Structure 1
């Protein structure tokens, strides 16, 4: 309270802790919210904006506009939940990826390739709902009628969620280090960022030439 002005917005980049946990009772609480970016934020535009129950709605609107004007892609988390949206989706995918690896269904490299050469190609410009909306003749409801029962069977066959074991973490880590040595991680991270910048340039060009 002492460090901020009466008109200052306070945004935390917490990746999972809701704003209400650390703003209750603070005088400037109505001007506090979460503005969570995705790593590396200088090339990935997503920002999750998540208010606390006492955040002034006008503050949410103004921060959303500020982020949008700065070239980011803000999304609103309409009520508090641990992990917000991106990390909850990532957690679900990672949990299944580790389960498939631990159970011997595929290598870490092939699981990565399933995303990078498959699902991720579509997700780079349309999300999961639009993906399935475009994958059936009459849209999302048609897709659900055709495939939801089968997806439910996949989920039913899954095991109850358990923490990742040290063994499977070690297995995944070993595969990753066989591809990229620890000493080469900074160079690989730079490569990732160049690829992300190239993807952003392509998506911007495609938006102009093809439409969004």
Structure 2
């Protein structure tokens, strides 16, 4: 991909917020042939982002997931010292700043003051609706949620969530861009906290914490259940297709057979119960028995290597994604 396929669009994008998510997005865009300008209000984070990206590209090359030399892709990525420098001459900004309403709101105000008339902003927020920080500005019709899974250069799904003021043209642009850079687009058609992915994840996590709290199973055995059970099917099909194939007569048959069981399970929970301090300490203790705190970073690198191997295998068996 050499250009964003949209009339008048620049082939340069800006990343604002250069942490793990922002750096991952930089890889997505540069890998697709776009130029990328990276900016963070903390210059130290901006500085650290380039070595991080360099390591990510080396891993992708090692697993055959990029054809170009990593140095060539890295050469498309530059850093900016100011927000104005980052957004100058770009059509699209990927916002990846702290997951706080006040921080995101202030950034939108700052962007509104310097944005060109065609600038579009995609927010990487994990669950905050755009209406919480993106309304009432001249820029508002050109802001939407573009929520990735971390790391976005390995896990392709991205949720597009418009605010009540987002224009249809903005959603169309974002969809075109995401598909062009190799992401899988999910349209979230109504604003809801957590969107689709994290609401699904929240239900599983709620039950996982409750099972530990009640002494039903350990953290490790719950992880095994997902890793060596549910995850096998979920790695290539979703929950509706899973149950559609799990009853002789398909999904309607499954609903008749097992719907009452799931209703009873759901009704058994008091979902307002928080993860309290005692429970968090219990889970933390169990996890540290399997992974010391000092090994978290190396385990993240191990995770990414496994994801790269999985992506390479998936590409060979599912070339169309």
Judge same fold: TM > 0.5, yes or no.
Answer: yes
Distance 1:77 1:100 in 2: 30
Structure 2 unaligned residues grouped into runs of 5+:
1-111
Runs of 4+ aligned structure 1 residues displaced above 6 Å come to: none
Query: Which range moves more in the overlay, 154-163 or 82-91?
Result: 154-163
After superposition, residues 150-189 of structure 1 pair within 5 angstroms as 150-189=261-300
Q: How large is the Cα RMSD of the aligned pairs?
A: 1.3
After superposition, residues 67-78 of structure 1 pair within 5 angstroms as 67-78=178-189
Distance 2:193 2:290 in 1: 33
Which residue of structure 1 aligns with residue 62 of structure 2?
A: none
Distance 1:136 1:160 in 2: 29
Distance 1:142 1:24 in 2: 45
Query: Which range moves more in the overlay, 149-158 or 191-200?
Result: 149-158
Structure 2 length-normalised TM: 0.63
The alignment of Structure 1 onto Structure 2 pairs a total of residues equal to: 210
Q: Which secondary structure does the structure 2 equivalent of 1:36 belong to?
A: strand
Which residue of structure 2 aligns with residue 134 of structure 1?
A: 245
Structure 1 length-normalised TM: 0.95
Q: Which secondary structure does the structure 1 equivalent of 2:113 belong to?
A: coil
Distance 1:65 1:134 in 2: 32
Distance 1:207 1:14 in 2: 29
- The yes-or-no answer on 1:24 pairing with 2:127 is no
TM-fit CA distance, 1:14: 1.0
After superposition, residues 1-212 of structure 1 pair within 5 angstroms as 1-208=112-319
Q: Which secondary structure does the structure 1 equivalent of 2:270 belong to?
A: coil
